Amino acid sequence: MYLHEYLLDEGHKLGLDIREKKLHSNSEALCKGRKIALNSHILKTSVQKRCYLSEEIWHAKATVGNITDIRNINNLKQERFARKCSFNDLVPPDKIVQGLLNYCLNLQDMCEYLHVTENYFCEAIDYYKQKHGLYYRCKDYTLYFEPLSVIGSSKGVI
């Protein structure tokens, strides 16, 4: 089972109608009410679908009304909220720590480990830097966002 299929199951349990189809817009995905459309013309890999589907599920859970015009500050806030929730689901700091402890020492390895796109991972790191600063304490470890590294009580710097 592809990882985005777990999100499909989650969406169906929430009563969402999720479909892959060619959209007439340049959007990767859209959510309208209880319906989510993934643009099959743009999203080709399971990893891409996973990243966008996670965010769209959060839109279905938390977004009110049409937020396509992000020049409106309230729409932008809702867009960012769904994106932040998606980051916390797919790329939480503790999973980044685990990736580093499992010797994911470059961007490609980390993204493969987390099953996210490189762009999505970089956006998540930028979000965590804005939220936490340059580091984050996670259990017995300190996760540094720049450069991406972890220091722990037993393993040292990775």
| Residue 7, pLDDT above cutoff 70 | yes
Q: Which of the pair, 27 or 69, is modelled with greater confidence?
A: 27
In a domain, 27, yes or no: yes
Q: Quote the pTM value.
A: 0.90
What confidence category does residue 1 fall into, taking pLDDT thresholds of 50, 70 and 90? low
In a domain, 8, yes or no: yes
- Write down the pLDDT at residue 108: 97
Q: Is the preceding peptide bond at 93 cis, omega within 30 degrees of 0? A: no
* Angle, helices 46-62/3-13, rounded to nearest 10 degrees: 20
Average pLDDT over residues 126-140: 94
Co-location of 67 and 97 in the same domain: no
Range of the domain at 132: 91-157
